[in-house]
């Protein structure tokens, strides 16, 4: 009771209680009360407005009650992701606004000081936690790489050179960190840490890292080039050890070592045959990896050849078929029934709801994550972290290359001063060498993923001089949907003479 005064978890949720603060997700009060105390305070954003309103209600002489005889479905975690810096900032800033509004004097100053301390402390914990979440896998890889290289060094020195001390200490302190850094970078830029169970990306990263390492090795001083054999054996070890780590992590998470194969969840759909068939089509198009057990009829009468059972016996279906997730068709099942069954079956299951005529199946399984969404919406490749990162690397590397080749480029590029300006803006992240075509702002890109303004655009890879707006929109869409790093290189190569363009990418102007 002492430490749970906000959430009041010690109260019986099935009984009505007088409380101080009502959750903003569901509040019912008389308009006359709002007219007297004032409406929601717009100074608050996302958090705190319900606390402020509840506090003003109590101060005005009214009482707040938690009413147990009604239920709602609240998708938690949809506002801001808990554990993010944004959540810490927004939540505690709301508390500061509340303190400044309702408290005065030394009491307010002390409370605000404590809140500021809490903000910095929580921010520190959040940054630390997020850092370790990102670094733990590369760190595990690095430790295994180092251990493997050390053993291979001793093995090769003893077997091939018949001298356990053949390799100098410089090899351990310079070469090994260099090798590991290059291999980790290869995996990182191939997206191997964005999708940790994507073996294709992992193999590609190790292969690219090994090729780069072989090239770098040739430029090293002779004393730092003791053995190419260790690079070859090291590459084999790196591939083996990194795959082994992912198999281990996959087993811990999904209870199997089939990389890329998640544990299939047993799912039932509650709805009519027509809606159930539509949901099945959505699931198939979204390529959701589930084990669909069947359909439960929304009414008391059911066709045994079509339905597993009816809604009144849903708990039996869950028990018999070991169901993990239930999808309710809102067209066929009343909200009251959905809430009744969610309450009755408890939090051990996941629940999804498919709205009528919707192309998405929505649900939120945890307050700590944004609600999971089964959808057939378009997936834009340019939105992936790996592609965004590689696009920035291309921009940065080409900008440095253009600085080195500036004099030859002056003979090729039409607008010389524009080229210098563009190099500066791209180098410091204000522009990208390739972006969407806008054609004097006639073309809208608001429905596409946000990227930096481009010097060039997909139009510059084509020989056609004039494009209508629908064609440009389609080319922008395809660029975002099917983006690969090589696309930018091709566009830049073909649009080399236009690198001095100062207008937005794709504006067909005379100063190209």
Per-residue pLDDT of 456-475, as tens digits, reads 999 998 887 778 888 888 88
Domain around 301 = 265-375
369 pLDDT above the threshold of 60: no
pLDDT, residue 446, reads 80
Structure letter (DSSP) for residue 210: H
227 band by pLDDT with thresholds 50, 70 and 90 = confident
Final residue of a structural domain among 231, 254, 277: 254
Position 68 in a domain: yes
Q: Identify whether residues 235 and 178 lie together within a single domain.
A: yes
pLDDT tens digits for range 151-192? 998 898 888 888 887 887 777 788 899 999 999 999 998 989
Say yes or no: 330 and 387 in one domain. no
Provide the pLDDT for residue 373: 46
Write down the pLDDT at residue 133: 87
Q: Measuring CA to CA, how many Å separate 148 from each of 14, 212, 230, 237?
A: 59, 20, 10, 7
Is 489 among the domain residues?
yes
Q: How confident is the model at residue 366 (pLDDT cuts 50, 70, 90)?
A: very low
Contact call for residues 458 and 482 (beta carbons, < 8 A): no
For residue 354, tell me if it sits in a domain. Answer: yes
Number of domains into which the chain is organized: 4
User: Cβ of 272: how many Cβ atoms within 10 Å?
Assistant: 19
The answer to whether the CB of 499 falls within 8 A of the CB of 455 is yes
392 and 482 part of one domain: yes
What is the Cβ-side half-sphere exposure of residue 55, based on CA atoms within 13 angstroms?
14
Q: Do both 180 and 278 map to the same domain?
A: no
Q: What is the pLDDT of residues 81-119, one digit of tens each?
A: 555 666 777 777 777 777 777 777 777 778 778 877 877
pLDDT computed for residue 75 by the predictor: 57
- When pLDDT is averaged across residues 247-252 and rounded to a whole number, the result is 88
Number of other residues whose CB lies within 10 A of the CB of residue 413? 20
Tell whether 124 is covered by a domain.
no
| Residue 9 included in any domain | no
- Is pLDDT above 50 for 402? yes
Question: Domain check: are 392 and 475 in the same one?
Answer: yes
The CATH number of the domain holding residue 368 is: 3.40.50.720
* pLDDT (tens digit per residue) in 412-430: 998 889 999 999 999 999 9
pLDDT band at 6 (very low <50, low <70, confident <90, very high): low
| φ, ψ dihedrals at 375, nearest 5° | -150, 155
pLDDT surpasses 90 at 432 = yes
Q: Output 355 or 360, whichever has higher pLDDT.
A: 355
Q: Which residue has the higher pLDDT, 511 or 83?
A: 83
**Same domain for 42 and 98:** yes
Is residue 313 predicted with pLDDT exceeding 70? yes
122-126, 200-204, 277-281, 499-503: which has the minimum mean pLDDT? 122-126
**270 in any annotated domain:** yes
**Given 235, 254, 273, which residue is the final one in a domain?**
254
Residues 6+ apart with CB under 8 A from 301: 310
% of the chain at pLDDT higher than 70: 86
Band of the pLDDT at 508, cuts 50, 70, 90? Answer: very low
Residue 6 forms part of a structural domain: no
Per cent of the chain over pLDDT 90 is 24
pTM passes above 0.85? no
Q: What is the mean pLDDT of residues 322-342?
A: 85
Identify the residue whose tokens are 């590029």: 413
Mean pLDDT confidence for 285-314? 81
Rounded Cα gap, residues 233 and 153, in angstroms: 10
Q: Are residues 241 and 279 in the same domain?
A: no
pLDDT of residue 129: 85
* Residue after which a domain boundary falls, among 225, 254, 283: 254
Looking at the structure, do residues 286 and 237 belong to the same domain, yes or no? no
Decide if 10 is inside a domain: no
Return the pLDDT at 436: 92
More confident residue, 444 or 387: 387
Stronger pLDDT, 358 or 16, i.e. the higher one: 16
Highest mean pLDDT among 8-12, 50-54, 434-438, 439-443: 434-438
Confidence of residue 330 (pLDDT cuts 50, 70, 90): confident
Across the chain, mean pLDDT equals: 82
Question: Helices 199-219 and 176-189 meet at what angle, rounded to 10?
Answer: 140
- 86 HSE (CA, 13 A, CB side): 6
Q: Tell whether 209 and 236 lie within a shared domain.
A: yes
The radius of gyration computed from the CA coordinates of the chain, to the nearest angstrom, equals: 30
Band (506; pLDDT cuts 50, 70, 90):
very low
Task: Say whether both 31 and 111 belong to one domain.
Answer: yes
Mark whether 233 and 143 lie in a shared domain: yes
Residues 232 and 279 in one domain: no
């Amino acid at each position: 009771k002492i430490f749970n005064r906000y959430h009041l978890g010690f109260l019986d949720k099935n009984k009505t209680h007088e409380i101080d603060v009502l959750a903003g997700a569901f509040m019912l009060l008389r308009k006359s009360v709002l007219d007297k105390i004032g409406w929601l305070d717009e100074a608050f954003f996302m958090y705190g407005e319900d606390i402020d309103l509840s506090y003003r209600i109590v101060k005005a002489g009214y009482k707040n009650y938690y009413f147990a005889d009604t239920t709602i479905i609240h998708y938690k975690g949809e506002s801001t992701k808990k554990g993010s810096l944004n959540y810490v900032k927004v939540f505690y800033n709301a508390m500061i606004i509340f303190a400044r509004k309702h408290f005065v004097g030394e009491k307010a100053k002390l409370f605000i000081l404590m809140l500021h301390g809490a903000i910095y402390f929580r921010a520190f914990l959040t940054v630390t936690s997020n850092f370790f979440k990102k670094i733990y896998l590369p760190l595990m890889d690095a430790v295994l790489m180092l251990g493997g290289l050390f053993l291979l060094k001793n093995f090769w020195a003893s077997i091939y050179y018949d001298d356990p001390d053949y390799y100098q200490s410089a090899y351990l302190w310079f070469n090994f960190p260099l090798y590991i850094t290059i291999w980790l970078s290869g995996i990182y830029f191939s997206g191997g840490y964005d999708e940790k169970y994507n073996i294709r990306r992992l193999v590609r990263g190790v292969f690219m890292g090994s090729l780069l390492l072989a090239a770098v090795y040739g430029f090293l001083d002779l004393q730092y080039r003791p053995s190419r054999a260790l690079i070859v054996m090291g590459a084999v070890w790196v591939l083996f050890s990194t795959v082994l780590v992912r198999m281990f992590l996959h087993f811990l998470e999904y209870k199997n070592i089939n990389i890329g194969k998640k544990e299939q969840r047993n799912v039932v759909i509650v709805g009519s045959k027509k809606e159930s068939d539509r949901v099945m089509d959505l699931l198939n198009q979204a390529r959701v990896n589930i084990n669909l057990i069947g359909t439960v009829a929304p009414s008391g009468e059911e066709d045994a050849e079509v339905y597993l059972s009816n809604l009144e016996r849903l708990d039996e279906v869950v028990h018999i078929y070991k169901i993990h997730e239930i999808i309710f068709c809102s067209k066929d099942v009343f909200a009251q029934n959905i809430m009744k069954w969610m309450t009755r079956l408890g939090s051990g299951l996941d629940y999804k709801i498919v709205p009528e005529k919707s192309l998405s199946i929505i649900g939120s399984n945890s307050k700590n994550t944004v609600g999971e969404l089964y959808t057939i919406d378009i997936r834009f490749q340019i939105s992936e972290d790996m592609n965004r990162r590689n696009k920035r690397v291309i921009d940065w590397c080409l900008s440095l290359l253009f600085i080195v080749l500036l004099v030859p480029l002056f003979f090729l590029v039409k607008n010389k001063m524009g080229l210098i300006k563009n190099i500066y803006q791209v180098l410091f992240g204000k522009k990208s060498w390739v972006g969407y075509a806008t054609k004097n702002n006639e073309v809208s890109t608001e429905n596409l993923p946000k990227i930096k303004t481009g010097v060039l655009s997909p139009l510059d890879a084509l020989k056609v001089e004039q494009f209508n707006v629908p064609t440009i929109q389609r080319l922008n869409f395809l660029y975002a949907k099917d983006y690969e790093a090589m696309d930018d290189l091709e566009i830049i190569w073909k649009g080399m003479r236009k690198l001095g363009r100062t207008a937005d990418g794709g504006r067909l102007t005379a100063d190209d």
